[in-house]
Structure 1
Amino acid sequence: MPDAPPLRAELLLDHEAPEALGHDLTAALDGLGVRTARVRRTVDHRGVGDLPWLVLVSLPLQAFLGGLGAEAVRDAYASFKGVVRRAAGRGAAGDDGVPRPLVLQDDRSGLSVVLEPDLPAEAHEQLLGLDLTTFRMGPLHYDRRLGRWRSELDEAAG
């Protein structure tokens, strides 16, 4: 049986993100079997309702998360988490002082998952087994108080 084709991702870096961050993320994703098709930068403008992210990674998200559960890629995922943490340490806060996370976005449904740089280990463990089809709207955030991933928009909609 032939191997499945590699997952493809697109990176969209904030205009303030360091060039090295794009290279680091591309390498970390490559280690997870995800090929970066394109790396682009945002323009120096955001709308009022835009999520203040530093990097947006668009890819087949459920397939990506499902593949991360395999023991063989645990080290590569640890490298990926390290890039997320380093990105936050490189001035990831915007002009308003609010931290700007890395966002994973499903290229089919548009559902997004916000990866804050200081997520606890249990958040990452839950993320690997998360069934994204149980959510209708995003973004998904990890609620530290409740100890689970949630979509406040889904909850508000009932």
Structure 2
Amino acid sequence: MTDAPLPAELLLDQDASDDLRRDLVSALEGLGVHTARVRRAVDHRGAADIPWIMLASLPLQAFLSGLGAEAVKDSYTAFKDVVRRSSRSPRSPLSTDPGDPADPAPRPLVLQDRHTGLRVVLEPGLPGEAYEQLLGLDLARFSEGPLHYDSGQGRWRSELDEAAG
């Protein structure tokens, strides 16, 4: 992907399992990312925070640009699989019904640019086209995030940027 590994820090929700942590670190390493530090988040968050399961802070544009290289195709597939698995939050141990309203909603994995703070939300069930668009996305077009994939419009967007004009 790149000559020098990209540095990253991971912040995991308390619900993220150790197996999921290992799988994500392994998938990122396969994509040329060196995970410098992995921490667990504290339980309190502000009202504006995204209820994520994992937050990866790294040089985001370099990471996304490198994902398009043919040499990392298998690693990229492994990364997408980990993202899909990570977004499935653990169910209540007493529940056997997948539609049980007591079960927490699936939570996304969030990528955050370490320099600008811009966040990209990888939500459960993203179509393949969302990942493909993300690889060529020019993050400099956005001043505020978070970026979400709008399935209806078939594109990545920042509602805050759009509201600001």
Question: Shorter-chain TM-score category?
Answer: over 0.9
2:104 paired residue among 81, 97, 104: 97
Aligned to 1:132: 139
Q: Where in structure 2 are the equivalents of 1:72-91 lying within 5 Å? A: 72-91=71-90
Judging changes above 3 Å, is the alpha-carbon distance between structure 1 residues 57 and 154 closer, same or farther for their aligned structure 2 residues?
Answer: same
> Does structure 1 conserve the Cα–Cα contact (< 8 Å) formed by 2:89 and 2:104?
no
- Equivalent residue runs for 1:1-158 within 5 Å: 4-91=3-90, 97-158=104-165
Q: How many pairs does the alignment contain?
A: 155
Higher alpha-carbon Rg: 2
Gap regions ≥5 residues in structure 1: none
Shift of 1:15: 1.1
TM-score by length of 2: 0.89
Displacement, 1:75? 1.0
- Tell me how far 1:16 sits from its aligned partner: 1.4
Instruction: Measure the CA separation in 2 of the matches of 1:51 and 1:89.
Output: 15
Cα distance, 1:97 vs. partner? Answer: 3.3
- Work out the CA distance in 2 between the residues paired with 1:79 and 1:96: 27
Report the CA distance shift for 1:136/1:92 in structure 2 as closer, same or farther (over 3 A). Answer: farther
Letter in 2 for 1:156: A
- 3-state SS of paired residue (2:87): helix
Question: 2 CA distance for matches of 1:146 and 1:92?
Answer: 31
Tell me the TM-score normalised to structure 1 length: 0.93
In structure 2, what is the Cα distance between the partners aligned to 1:126 and 1:76?
Answer: 18
Contact in 2 for aligned 1:6/1:33 (Cα 8 Å): yes
